[in-house]
Structure 1
């Protein structure tokens, strides 16, 4: 699987976990040069508190387009150390 935004592959892995229709990529499969942490967080009743990354490629930034659960709930342990995408990032 590949995560693509602004004509760049920002993550790539043969080992994704699908939860609620979202592919969660291993953290070590993201291209760190494009990612920067933000202050945004959200809460999911069963997964826990999510943190976010924005992605900058070729001078354009996609704000809060990637999320991860630093400390997922016990029910969501399979997405620990994984990152998912939305907001225009194509997962193909």
Structure 2
């Protein structure tokens, strides 16, 4: 599967390596292309997943704020709820298209 913004593939991995959480596909960290994500200072803590790290996505000369996120250290109970360790996996906002 691919996460695509415009003509840019941001992440790519086989579907069996992705994790689906609440309607979002989370890509393994190694599948995200280097240099396309920039850490954002936007704070957020999910009540059941834990502290979130947002990323802005580079699109040519533009920096699109908070278009991706991950959970570097999810709450341990979240692993049971999801059925997998999703630490540092990256999900994308709806304006980033995820395709097979």
When normalised by structure 2's length, the TM-score is 0.85
Q: Alpha carbons of 1:43 and 1:69: their partners in 2 closer, same or farther (altered >3 Å)?
A: same
Q: Distance in 1 between matches of 2:94 and 2:66?
A: 8
What are the ranges of 5 or more consecutive residues in structure 1 without an aligned counterpart? Answer: none
Query: Secondary structure in 1 aligned to 2:42?
Result: strand
Equivalent residue runs for 1:28-43 within 5 Å: 28-43=30-45
The structure with the greater share of residues assigned to strand is: 1
Q: Deviations over 1:3-40 (max 9, x none)?
A: 00121000001110001011000011101211111111
Q: CA RMSD in A?
A: 1.1
What residue is the counterpart of 1:45 in the other structure? 47
Determine the structure 2 residue equivalent to 1:24. 26
Equivalences, count: 92
Deviation of residue 87 (structure 1)? 4.4
Does residue 80 of the first structure (1) align with residue 87 of the second (2)?
A: yes
Corresponding residue number in structure 1 for 2:82: none
Q: Which runs of 5+ in 2 are unaligned?
A: 80-84
Matched, 1:9 2:16: no
Q: Distance in 1 between matches of 2:32 and 2:94?
A: 17
